[in-house]
Amino acid sequence: MREQRFQQIMTLVGAFFMVLGLIAIAIGWYGTARTGYVFEQIPYLVSGGLFGLGLTFTGALVFFSSWLARIVQLQRQQNELTQRLLDQLSNEDSVDGEEVPATREMRHTIAIPRAR
């Protein structure tokens, strides 16, 4: 639960930085477009363009890392469910033909055929 909340916050922070970076780029472009003199355009290029580009890339990296963290969490859950199912199969003392007892999550996650 805590990991999910952290991932949601990281996703929102990444999206916020990306949008903020694009807004900074747009403001820099607007300031540059209003003047024809290069010496007046350079401050807009530095403050709007480069800073906006940095914010956009930072936001994209944070967003990507939250996505990778989500994949790792899902993989861990899948491994845990698989391990529980394999433990149940190895400890089974039932007669052939009976259903392997499993939790509801495992029935929807993985199906392993029984060996005779």
Distance from C-alpha of 54 to C-alpha of 41, rounded to nearest angstrom? 19
Q: Please, what's the largest Cα pairwise distance for the chain?
A: 87
Type of residue found at 90: S
* 36 domain-assigned: yes
- Record the pTM: 0.65
Q: What integer pLDDT is reported at residue 95 of this predicted model?
A: 46
* 115 domain-assigned: no
**Mean pLDDT score across all residues of the chain:** 83
State the Cα angle at 43 between 37 and 48, rounded to 5°.
120
Q: What integer pLDDT is reported at residue 33 of this predicted model?
A: 87
Q: Which domain holds residue 59?
A: 2-91+99-109
* 116 domain-assigned: no
Number of structural domains the chain divides into? 1
- Left, alpha or beta for 96 (phi > 0: left; psi -120 to 50: alpha)? beta
Does 38 have pLDDT greater than 90? no
* 114 domain-assigned: no
Distance from C-alpha of 80 to C-alpha of 44, rounded to nearest angstrom? 53
Does 110 have pLDDT greater than 60? no
